[in-house]
Amino acid sequence: MTYEGLRLKILAIRRIGLANLRKRKLNKSNFTIISNNCWGGEVYESYNLIKQSPTIGLFFMASDYIKFISNIHSYLESDMVFIDPMTSKYLDLLKNDKFYGTYPVAKLNDIEIFFMHYTSKEQVIKKWNRRIKRINWDHILYKFNDQNGCTEEDIQNFEMLPLKHKICFTVNEDYEKYSSVIKIHSPKRHNFIHASYEPFGNNKAVDINKLINDL
């Protein structure tokens, strides 16, 4: 097991074990997180809440996520088409991951979604459609980070989107000039934020409880 994998397992114990206590700090239980990776699902778990978003257990490449949230209603109404992972336009960036090719990959029009925590196409379709119906458009948070090929242009595009509630996590101090960006303390060797360093609950860098309460 990698160090990152070990961190994720240890954090899962704390995240889930204290979920009901943490839940008392929220003023609402019905809210949606549209995330570029698995963070949204982990936040719901951290409060012992059902998952109220289709962006659970998956990831987008950075530029595709920006496209997705820029026209989210249109993309959510699009038919999902599964593709051979070896034909992905991002193959060169992902092929060295030993798990790549073991999970479903699908397209919504011109973007690709990588369902890394799913085992079948049927599971993807069932959960995707069920969770779309749970979206609360009145209380919604858009979350981005500097993973998956993210460039400063992607950060700028995220910053410019007219979204009331949005946040972006980074390890890059050069991105702190953007109002939606929060720098998270991580090892200096990290060029982007790793999943185990993304915050939940009341973190030193950002209070996720308050972020949700303000939606």
| Structural domains of the chain, count | 1
The range of the structural domain enclosing residue 131 comes to: 3-213
Query: E-strand spans in the chain?
Result: 32-35, 80-83, 105-108, 111-114, 140-145, 166-170, 181-183
pLDDT above 90 (res 212): yes
Residue 134 has pLDDT above 90, yes or no: yes
Average pLDDT over the chain reads 96
Residue 164 has pLDDT above 90, yes or no: yes
Cβ atoms of residues 28 and 2 within 8 Å: no
What is the pLDDT at residue 81? 99
Residue 183's SS3 state is strand
Lowest average pLDDT, out of 4-13, 124-133, 197-206, goes to 4-13
- pLDDT at 184 (0 to 100): 96
Give pLDDT tens digits for 2-13: 888 788 888 889
Of the candidates 42, 75, 51, 36, the residue with the CA atom closest to the CA atom of residue 155: 36
Q: Is the pLDDT of residue 133 over 90?
A: yes
Average pLDDT over residues 63-79: 99
Decide the pairing of beta strands 105-108 and 111-114.
antiparallel
pLDDT the model gives residue 62: 99
